[in-house]
Chains A and B, each alone.
Chain A
Amino acid sequence: MKISLNQKILSRNEECAKKNRAFFKENSVLCLNVISSPGSGKTTTISRMIKDVGDKIRMGVVEGDIKTDTDAQKIRDAGGQAVQIETHGACHLSAEQVYNAIKVLDAEKMDMVIIENVGNLVCPSAFDLGEGARVILLSVPEGDDKPIKYPGTFAEADVVLINKIDLMDYIDFNLERVLADIRVVNPDVEIFQVSATTGEGMEQWYEWLMNKSGAAQAAR
């Protein structure tokens, strides 16, 4: 006996992502799902955002890591509000974990919720968290071959931040190749070249955020 289901395998996650998305929409909160390899500068970038524009955009941060609350602590040190999710081995965050975290964060009072996903350029991209924009970070020292090696991750992005551009002179990194490879799988994606350490290029990224979060608030 054969039964035909044609059921989405991650449907439970998708149902919960829908709930999150409805919550963010209802409360005019812009939610970013930040995905990258470990060490590409997610926490440093978010800390810098809090310091630079935290007075204009009220931000809350959901930190995902396999172990420890090191990153949540760093965000608090930068003056931000953070909730840490420890996944205890899981390589990605799920929509349900985010659902529980945003309740703790009082996210309805925020303009923006930033989810820092578990450092991993592969698995997190399969899990919709209900975000308004998916942000992929690619840092210069990781190498210029990443977009073509991880096409699925870059195909689903709304924004790509090329981070650590201050190291471009020291590393064999072909920027043109990176831009071209990203455009192959995602022609309309927004790309910003930044350094979260020196602050270079961050202004344009903030401008995009202001517009996007302003749009979320205008709907309030």
Chain B
Amino acid sequence: MKFETVIGLEVHVELATKSKIFCSCSAKFGAEQNDHVCPACCGMPGMLPIVNKNVVNLGMTAGMMLNCHINRTTTFDKKSYYYPDLPCSYQTTQWFAPVAVNGLVDIETSKGKKSIRIKQIHMEEDAGKLVHDDWTNTSLVDFNRTSVPLIEIVSQPDLSSAEEVVAYLERLRSLLRFAKVSDCRMEQGSMRCDVNLSVRPEGSDQLGVRTEMKNMNSLSAIVRAIEYETARHIDAIENGTEELVQETRRWDDVKGKSFAMRNKETAGDYRYFPDPNIMPVVIDDTWYDGIKNSLPEFPEVKKARYMSEFGLGEYDADILTGSRALCDCFEGAVAECGNAKEAANWLISDCMNLLNKNQQTADQLTVNGTSLGKLIKLVTDGTIGRGNAKKILIAMFEKDLDPAKYAEENGLILSNDTGLIDKVIKEAIAADPKAVADFKGGKEKALMALFGKCMKQLKGNCDPQVLRTMLIDEINKA
């Protein structure tokens, strides 16, 4: 019998806000334990939640990027369960009227194009973290992450393979990064995923027994978990190796196996009800339109435009539209210098090289597009040489600066002093008559040696074309 896998995903994405969802504590990752806490996010009695408006902005943005309907009245609800990392023993989330519903995400795999339906996107607060100390056999709670804003993106069970799941997650990541909703870094936990999976005979319209694997945080682990779990289900159905039950399972990536969690950890009634301390959030036309108008172009639309409007090749356009930071810098540079090909070259070769050297991703590029455009103009109009321009770019990675001013202050302007060039050439020729003779004898390489010595003497502040022409003239005279 042939089987097909039915997969639905719940993807948690940490929002790129400065502060937490209901208090003004920092939402930044990586602080000392319990540094980013206050009475509100520690669950102390008497504190009341005030919704961070930026969280709603990003929730709406995510909804629009994933083609969802935005609920103009959206409410917050309480979900009750006991766990030491949840200070109030309830999580404030959205159950009855989530911010966005009924979306659609297009993916492309080796089997072609497919649309994945989004059931809903809801906003909620994250929980804290338990740190287990084996030495003293105790558990300690770190509340830094408590109340960090999240959205949960719930798909319909429209995915049918690990490949589709990866394509879907990469698409989500690309869209959400583009819209600056989240940095979606799985290794830091700012994007995590619960995989709901069942297996059924191909063509059946009945769903099989569903299991859920929670908190998956790497694409490769997700692929392995889906393959393992699919095989386990098929084995159970075909060979009766075990009875499948609806349950939550834990994926152990080291052992390469999934394990049933204790029933107690998963059973229970969440007793959802509307949070009486948070009034319904009403999104009026002004607010809605403001978010709608601030949405970025989709990456593929941008790519097509870069190719048609700026004449970039597909390869270049692909790299640039892989990151919102590259696009912003590129568009800023083009607006300043009007030279798209040069701007693309600078970004794809020089900037990417520097990023690699610093072990940074394209999203971490901080170079100001306008400044890059100014730098390109200085090179194309012959004010500075390409080598010196690269030195300026390195400085621009440190902090934003005006390239012309920087070049002047650091003596990087091309010299137009032909008297000085003439003097340097004459000295070089006098010092190395053998090279002159070799060149005259037909050895092209000998010219390069002389050229290099002159350029060094001139500290690079010389148009290479000018130097070359003057050097050949001088040799011929000699």
- Do A and B share a complex? no
